[in-house]
Amino acid sequence: MDGGAAKGRTGGAATRWGARLALRLAALAAAALAVALIWASHGYLTNLYSEGLRNRANVRAAIYSGSLVNVLQRHQLIPAVLARDRSLIDALIKGRYAMTSARLIDVNRELGARSLILMDRDGRIVAASDRRLLGTSRADQIYFRSAARDNGTVFAITGIAERDRGFFFAHPVRSGGSLLGVIAVEVNLGQIEEGWARDSGRVFVTNSEDVVILSSTPDWRYRLLSPLLEEARIAALRSRRLGGLEILPVDEAQSGRRLRIDGVTYLRRERAIGFRGWTLNYLAPMDEVQAKVNAVMALEIMVLALMAAVIFWINSKRAWRRLLNLQRESEELRELNRRLSAEIDERRRVERTLARTEQSLEQASKLAALGQMSAAVSHELNQPLAAMRTYIAGARLLIERRRLEEALVSIQRMDDLIGRMAQLTRQLKSFARKGGQELRPVDLRDAVRGALSVMQPQLAQHAIELVTDLPRSPCMVRADQLRIEQVLVNLLRNALDAIRSQPHRRIALTIAPGRDYVIRVTDNGPGLPPDIDAIFEPFFTTKKPGEGLGLGLAISAGIAQDLGGRLVARNLKDGGACFEFHLPALQDMETAAE
Ligand code: ADP
C-alpha cells in the first residue's frame, strides 16, 4: 500500500512536471506567436499606410508638376509675343520709351511675372514693369547675351545666392534682321516654392544634371541630389556658372523609392515635367506612416498584453485554487494523522489490556486444565477400583466357602489391577509431562485382552453377548499398551452404558488388519446423539449427573492422536454405534520413519 502510494506520488509528480513543462512550452509558443504577429502586422500596416502615402505623393507630384509646367509655359510665350509688339519695336527704333513701361506693367498685370524688362541693344533696361530697374544694365547677364545671339526664346537661370536668383525667358527684338533689343520675363518661381512650403512633404525640382534648382526647403537649393556622381562630373559642374555645389546629405543606404535626408526618411515620387530635363520630386515623410503604424501597434500590443494579463490572471486564480486545495488536503492529512495516532494509542492500550487478559486467561486455563486432569484421574481410577471391589467380594465368598484356589486367582487379579492403577498414575504423571513415556512395539491383541479383563466383571454382570474377532498373527504397532487399553476400556464402558436398557445386549470387538489396524467396537444400542463431532469435546455428556463426566472420549481421542492414529465414530445402518480406533501398523511406521 505504501509502495502504491509512493508510486502514485511519483506518478503525480511526473504528471505535474510534465504539465508544467507543457505550460512553459505553451507560454513560449504564445510569446513567439505574439512576436510574429506584431512583426507581421508591422509589415502589413507599414505597407498599407505606405500605399496611402504613395497615392497621396503621386497626386501631389502630379498637381505640383502640372502647375509648374503651366506657369513656365505661360511665361515662355510672352517674350516671343512682345518681341513682335509694334509699340515696343517703335520705341526701340525711336529711342522713346515714355509709354513703354506702362505697356509692360499692363501686360504683367495679367501675367503676374516677377518682372518684365525691355533692354536696348546694349543691354540697358529701357522699360520695365518695375520702374526701379530702369537705367540699369543687363549686358553681362546670360539671358541677354544668349537672346542677343539667338533668334528664339531662351531660358536662363541667374545667380546662386538667394537674392539674385532668377529664372528668365528672353527673346530678341529685331527689325529687318538687326537687333534692336531684348525683351525678358522673370518667372516668379519663388512664389511657387512658397506654395510648396505649406505642404507637409518636401518638393524640389532638379535639372538634367541632378542639381536642385527649386525647392520648398531653401537649404537644399543648388545642391546635387545624387550622392553617386563621379568626381569628374562634380568637377565639371563646379566649373559652370552655378559654382560651388554641395551634395544633399542623402543617406546612401536608402535609394530608389525611399530617401533618407537629415535623418528623416521620405517616400520619393519623381515626375519628369517635360521642360529642359527637369524633374519634380515629391518627398512624403515616412514618419507619418510610422506614427500611424505605431499607434495601431501600440493598440495591438495593448490588446495582447491584456490577453496575457487575463490568461495570467486565470492561471494565477487556478494556482491559488490549487494552493487552497493543497492546504485543505494537508489539513485533512494532519487530521488523519491525528486520528491515526489516537488509534495507535488506543490499540496500544487495548494490547496492554489484552496482554493482561491473556495472562489471567492463561492462569484460568491452567486451573481449568488442573480441574480437567483431576476429573480424568478420578475417572480412570474409578474403573479398576470398582473392579477390585467386585473381586474382593468374590474372593471373600470363595474364602468363606473354602475354595482357596479360586480365591487366589481373584487376589491375583486384584494384584494385577493394583499394578494397572500404579501404571495409570505413572501414565497420568507422564501425561502431565507430555511425551515422556517411551513407545514400544505392542501386539494389539494383548491390549484388547487386557481391556477385556478389566471390563470382564461388568460385562458378565449384565449378561452381555460379547463377540470378539482377533487375527491369528500378531498385530504390531508402536505404542504404549496401557494407553491403548485405556481407550478400549472407555469405548467398552460407553457401549455397555448404551445397551444397558436393551433387551438383548451385544458388543462386538474386532481387529481389522491393513495399512492401519482398525480396532472396531460396535454395540446394538440406540446410536450416537445427532451432533456426532460434539461427543469428542471434553465435558460433553448425555448421561445423568454422577454417571458421566464427558471426559472419556476426549481423553481417548487425545491418546489416539498421541500414538499417531485417530478415533472416529459413526452410527451403524441397523442401529447402534460404531467406534473405530485406527493405529498405523508397525512396518508402515518404520518405513515412514525411514
Ligand atoms: P461419558 O461417558 O462420561 O458421558 P464420554 O466422553 O465417554 O463421556 O461420552 C460422551 C457421550 O458420547 C456420551 O454421554 C454419550 O452421549 C455418547 N456416547 C459415547 N459412546 C456411545 C455409544 N456407544 N452409544 C451411544 N452414545 C455414546
Full set of structural domains in the chain with CATH: 84-188 (3.30.450.20), 436-593 (3.30.565.10)
Instruction: From the CA of 540, give the closest atom in ligand 1.
Output: 10
**276-302 per-position pLDDT tens digit:** 889 998 988 888 888 889 999 999 999
pTM equals 0.46
Q: What's the CA-to-centroid distance between 544 and ligand 1, angstroms?
A: 11
Nearest residue CA, atom 27 of ligand 1? 528
Instruction: Output phi, psi for 122, to 5 deg.
Output: -95, 0
496 C-alpha to center of ligand 1: Å?
Answer: 10
Among all chains, which residue has been given the C-alpha cell 501686360?
107
Q: Which three cell numbers stand for residue 289?
A: 506612416
**pLDDT at residue 273, as a whole number:** 87
Distance of CA 479 to the CA centre of its chain: 76
Cα 520–Cα 435–Cα 444 angle in degrees, nearest 5: 25
The residue whose C-alpha atom lies closest to atom 20 belonging to ligand 1 is 494
CB 280 within 8 A of CB 273: yes
Amino acid at 505: R
**What confidence score (pLDDT) does residue 181 get?**
93
Q: Can you give the pLDDT at residue 567?
A: 96
499 C-alpha to center of ligand 1: Å? 12
- Nearest CA-CA partner of 470 in 517, 538, 430: 517
Ligand 1 pocket test, candidate residues 553, 559, 574, most atoms within 8 A of CB: 553
Sheet hosting strand 465-469, strand order edge to edge: 465-469, 506-512, 516-523, 577-584, 566-571
40, three cell numbers: 507581421
* Residue pair 513/526 in contact by the 8 Å Cβ criterion: no
Maximum distance among all Cα pairs of the chain, rounded to whole angstroms: 224
Cα–Cα distance measured from residue 410 to residue 408, given in angstroms and rounded to the nearest whole number:
5
Closest protein CA for atom 14 of ligand 1: 541
Which ligand 1 atom sits closest to the C-alpha of 555? Answer: 6
Q: What are the CA-CA distances from residue 443 to residues 61, 110, 298, 447, 477 (Å)? A: 144, 170, 118, 7, 6
Q: What is the DSSP letter of 245?
A: -
**Strand ranges (DSSP E) for 422-551?**
440-443, 465-469, 476-479, 506-512, 516-523
Question: Looking at residue 220, what is its pLDDT?
Answer: 78
* Ligand 1: centre distance to CA 438 (Å): 30
Ligand 1 pocket test target in 488, 494, 521, 522 with most atoms within 8 Å of CB: 494
Q: What is the pLDDT of residue 5?
A: 46
**Exposure of 139 by Cβ count < 10 A (0-12 exposed, 13-18 middle, 19+ buried)?**
middle
Q: Which residues of the chain have pLDDT under 70?
A: 1-13, 160-164, 225-256, 362, 365-366, 368-369, 372-373, 376, 423-424, 426-437, 545-549, 588-594
Q: For position 268, what pLDDT does the model report?
A: 85
485: nearest Cα among 528, 529, 544, 443: 443
**Under 8 Å CB-to-CB from 303, ≥6 apart: which residues?**
none
CA distances from 78 to 156, 266, 428 (A): 15, 37, 166
Hey, whose CA ends up nearest to atom 21 of ligand 1? 494
Give residue-wise pLDDT tens across range 87-134.
899 999 998 888 899 999 999 998 888 899 999 999 999 999 998 989
Give, using CA atoms, the residue closest to atom 2 of ligand 1. Answer: 548
Q: Which ligand 1 atom lies nearest to the CA of residue 547?
A: 3
Closest-lying ligand 1 atom to the alpha carbon of residue 543: 14
C-alpha 533 – ligand 1 centre gap (Å): 12
| Per-residue confidence (pLDDT) for residue 219, from 0 to 100 | 78
The helix (run of H) or strand (run of E) holding residue 454 is helix 444-461
Strand-pair category, 516-523 with 566-571 = unpaired
For a substitution probing ligand 1, which of 458, 541, 556, 568 has the most ligand atoms within 8 Å of its CB?
Answer: 541
**Ligand 1 lining (C-beta closer than 6 Å):** 490, 494-495, 498, 523, 525, 528-529, 535, 540-543, 548-554, 577
What is the distance, to the nearest Å, from the Cα of residue 23 to the centroid of all Cα atoms in its chain?
A: 8
**CA gap 458, 476 in Å, rounded:** 28
Please provide residue 478's backbone torsions phi and psi, each rounded to the nearest 5 degrees: -95, 115
Q: Which three cell numbers stand for residue 112?
A: 503676374
Q: Ligand 1 mean position to 435 CA, how many Å?
A: 27
- The x, y and z cell numbers of residue 305, run together, are 498584453
580 close to 567: Cβ distance less than 8 angstroms: yes
The whole-number pLDDT of residue 341 equals 95
The ligand 1 atom at the shortest distance from the C-alpha of residue 523 is: 23
Q: Residue 3 has what pLDDT? A: 44
**CA geometry: angle 157, 273, 145, nearest 5 deg:** 25
